[in-house]
Amino acid sequence: MTVNSYLTNLANGAIIRDQEQESIRRSVATLQSRLNLFFGADITQQFIFGSYSRGTILPRSMDANSDVDYMIVFADGSSRPQTYLNRLRRFVEQYYARSEISQSNPTIVLSLNHIRFELVPATNNWFSGLQIPAKASDYEDWLSTDPTGFNQELIGANQSHSSLIKPLVRVVKYWNAKNRYPFESYSLEQDIVKHGFGFFGLLGGRQLKDYFYDYIEGMDAGWFAPKWKQEAVSRAKQLAAEAKSQEWQGYTASAEATIKRLLPPLGLLM
């Protein structure tokens, strides 16, 4: 097996399928009907957004923190964020009493056996559009948002690069999960889309491994990142460069073994 075939198989294995996919669909349908029953006309919209809607969410076997982002838009926007978070908490406590429930600003986290939901309250401001609660460290109560705007950016980048950006996102997010999350998941996806990859899209004939090597080579933890994050990025760069060199010299098996140290097969520890 080559590095490219290994990365491709890993990316294909990082897609939620079959029983897990069906379980999530059923949970979403149940959540939707319960929200309508509990809130009625008090909510105007509810929908999935985030990595699940983009096809870049990882199965829980690859990322224990995988979650489905779900936005609930309230009709009355006159209250402060905590009011809506409290209302969502009362909802989940009534219908999901046996599940793990917590608040993680600005969401209510509902952990089921097969998936975790991040319930995000929102209001519709006539001037700025959809607003969600700001994080506790922000100065404002509300933050304007376009929950599906990034989806089109990702689709455009994926189309421009022979449908290799989404597989790359999944592979890099797998590395991120295996290394205690040096990067926030959404920011990581944004960085990959904005990376550019030089003339890759114009040259043609590029493979997933080329995109992976290029992105890892340019990865930057930042000057003020904790030591463990810098070490995780440094190790990724070192192993990716080693595998690339081994491939260039014709040592295909050695290159694959090196990549497996960086991105272990499912079920294996680093």
Given this model, what pLDDT does residue 125 score? Answer: 86
Please report the pLDDT score of residue 202 as a whole number: 60
Measured in whole angstroms, the distance separating CA 187 from the mean position of its chain's CA atoms is 9
Do 116 and 66 form a contact (C-beta atoms < 8 A)?
yes
Tokens read off for 42: 């008090």
The interaxial angle of helices 165-178 and 3-13, nearest 10 deg, is: 80
Which neighbouring-strand residues pair with 75? none
Reading the chain (270 residues) residue by residue, the pLDDT tens digits are: 899 999 999 999 999 988 899 999 999 999 999 999 999 999 999 999 999 999 999 999 999 999 999 999 999 999 999 999 999 999 999 999 988 899 887 899 999 877 899 999 999 988 889 999 988 655 678 999 999 999 999 999 999 999 999 999 999 999 999 999 999 999 999 999 999 786 665 666 789 999 999 999 999 999 999 999 999 999 999 999 999 999 999 999 999 999 999 999 975 433
Q: What pLDDT score was predicted for residue 197?
A: 84
Structure tokens at 47: 């929908």
Closest CA to 215 of 265, 256, 268, 170: 170
The predicted pLDDT at position 95 comes to: 97
Q: How many CB atoms lie within 10 A of CB 189?
A: 24
pLDDT of residue 269: 39
> For the segment 136-171, what is each residue's pLDDT rounded down to a tens digit?
655 678 999 999 999 999 999 999 999 999 999 999
**Architecture, CATH, for domain 18-147:** 2-Layer Sandwich (3.30)
Contact criterion met (CB below 8 Å) for 239 and 219: no
pLDDT of res. 138: 58
